[in-house]
Amino acid sequence: MLQTDNLTFRYKKEGQIFKFPNIALDENENLLILGKSGIGKTTFLHLLAGLLSPTDGKVVIDDVSINLLFQSKLDTFRGQKIGLVFQKNYAVKSLSVLENLYARLFFSKKTIDNDEIDKLLEQLGIKDSKNSKIHELSEGQLQRLGIALSVIHKPKIILADEPTSSLDDENCKVVIELLKNQAERTHANLIVITHDQRIKTFFQNSITL
């Protein structure tokens, strides 16, 4: 499902060279990537998501070498196959919860299924806030919306960048469980990149950068 080969990245010509280990994930396999700050965790994640182009090497998702895609094709591909979760969860501020989900589906060219959306919001416990504006949500609700936005379009890969670093132990556990459940439900690979040692126990596969 996901493979990387000899991924290398360099920010500027004279900049530091990041070399990343090769990874290969089969369907339903999850991966925890651990690493200290500044080691290029986010860079690795952005390379996997096609947000950055590698200086060398390649990323293959669903048998497609994403680095060979044209920009607009890559945008569509990313929109359909990848779900991103950020450390601090954001959604488009001018839209409501529901409108954010609609926009998510619109841009990934997926049809809107209101039952599906309700079910997902129910599972994440934010169904009551579905017409709320983003600024009306609490941190926890926002975190859940972030998860909802990363899975609503049934991606092949969920990439989470430090999803738990600002959470207490209890919420940390809740968020990881939610992410794992959603990944399982949608048959997606879950890749979590973090320096947070607490979540080691939730994953069978892990690598350290």
Partner 1 sequence: MNIWKISIQNLKSKPLYTFLSILILSLSIMLLLSVQQLKISFKNQIDSNLGKIDLVIGAKGSPLQLILASVLHLDNPTGNISYHEAEKISKSSFVKLAVPISYGDNYEKYRIIGTTKEYLSIYNAELQNGDVIKKPMEVILGNTVAKQLNFKIGDTFLSSHGLKENDIDLHADKLTVVGILKPTKKVIDRLIITNLESIWNVHKHEDEIDEDNEIHTEHHPQKTHDLNREITSLLISFKSPRALLTFPRKINKETNMQAALPKYELHKLYEYTNIGFQTISWIAYLILLISGMIIFISLYKMVKERAFDLALLRTYGASNLQLIKMVIYEGITIVFFAFIIGFIFVKTALYFIFKIVKNYYHHNILQELSFNEVLQTGGLVLIMMFLSISLATYPIIKMNISTILSNEK
| Positions in the binding site for partner 1 (CB under 8 A) | 42-43, 46, 49, 51-52, 71-72, 75-76, 78-80, 82, 84, 86-88, 90-95, 99, 102-109, 112, 149
Kindly tell me which of 133 and 203 has the beta carbon lying closer to partner 1.
133
- Rounded CA-CA distance 70/139 in Å is 36
Give the residue from 155, 203, 109, 135 showing the smallest Cα distance to 145: 135
Shortest distance (Å) from residue 71 CB to partner 1: 7
- Rounded CA-CA distance 97/78 in Å is 21
Kindly tell me which of 39 and 51 has the beta carbon lying closer to partner 1.
51
- Rounded CA-CA distance 89/7 in Å is 27
Give the residue from 54, 49, 21 showing the smallest Cα distance to 35: 21
Kindly tell me which of 45 and 172 has the beta carbon lying closer to partner 1.
45
Mapped onto helix, strand or coil, the DSSP state of residue 82 is: strand
For tokens 């890969």, the residue is 157
Q: Could you tell me the CA-to-CA distances from 123 to 3, 118, 161 in Å, in that order?
A: 31, 9, 22
Kindly tell me which of 8 and 205 has the beta carbon lying closer to partner 1.
8
Shortest distance (Å) from residue 62 CB to partner 1: 15
Shortest distance (Å) from residue 113 CB to partner 1: 13
Kindly tell me which of 11 and 208 has the beta carbon lying closer to partner 1.
11
Shortest distance (Å) from residue 201 CB to partner 1: 25
Shortest distance (Å) from residue 72 CB to partner 1: 5
Shortest distance (Å) from residue 106 CB to partner 1: 4
Those residues whose C-beta lies under 8 Å from the C-beta of residue 33, and which sit 6 or more positions away, are 41, 44, 191, 192, 193, 194, 206, 207, 208, 209
Kindly tell me which of 76 and 203 has the beta carbon lying closer to partner 1.
76
Q: How many CB atoms lie within 10 A of CB 95?
A: 15
